[in-house]
Chains A and B, each alone.
Chain A
Amino acid sequence: DTAVSQTPKYLVTQMGNDKSIKCEQNLGHDTMYWYKQDSKKFLKIMFSYNNKELIINETVPNRFSPKSPDKAHLNLHINSLELGDSAVYFCASSLAGTDTQYFGPGTRLTVL
């Protein structure tokens, strides 16, 4: 009965590699988000999708590309990983027009 799930939970990789993080929600929400939490625990939005359409695209390097195959899934692909990409990435979802967002458990990305 998981609401928002992410895989993998941990991701350790070398600089320059390409990796993906997957997110799925079974809440029936139509809007999904990606957030980045830095080492100081600051949460910042990266992207949001509503019904597979990109709504918010903060100033994120274009090495980050979100993909939404349907409104229950929002994946994050990262090309040419850099040391500064190390962080915890959270997926979240909500119903359009509402402000309450529900978060997944996070993916801790470590770039060596």
Chain B
Amino acid sequence: GQQLNQSPQSMFIQEGEDVSMNCTSSSIFNTWLWYKQDPGEGPVLLIALYKAGELTSNGRLTAQFGITRKDSFLNISASIPSDVGIYFCAGPDDRGSTLGRLYFGRGTQLTVWP
């Protein structure tokens, strides 16, 4: 299957700091998705990106679809305690998009200290 390399694996930051995480794939993606998983809950979609170079915001979150179509970035500005959770990148590869097969990164565990 596809390899999605997500980094960093974990982050410990102070409230108010900005956060950046990224994801790279071994092949071209047509879509990049960013999910957040709170403890004991299912992943919730944060941002969907559909075009190379696209930059999309959702409140304090901003994500970009890399020009090469093999990477994506998620930034969180002015972090707050409720940003705590695991952030996953995901996407279907060029062959999988019609089958609904999503590949997930291994997640970035974010901890925010007050």
Contact = CB atoms under 8 A, between A and B. Distances in A.
Nearest to B32: A99
A38 to B, nearest CB: 10
Secondary structure type dominating chain B contacts:
loop
Contacts, number: 63
Interface residues of A, number: 26
**Which bucket holds chain B's interface residue count?**
20 to 34
Interface in A30-63: 31, 33, 40-45, 48, 50, 55-56
B42 A105 contact: yes
A20 B40 CA distance: 20
Given A40-B106, A42-B106, A99-B33, A33 B42 contact: no
B65 interface: no
B108 to A, nearest CB: 10
B6 to A, nearest CB: 11
Interface in B60-114: 86, 88, 90-92, 97-102, 104, 106-107, 109
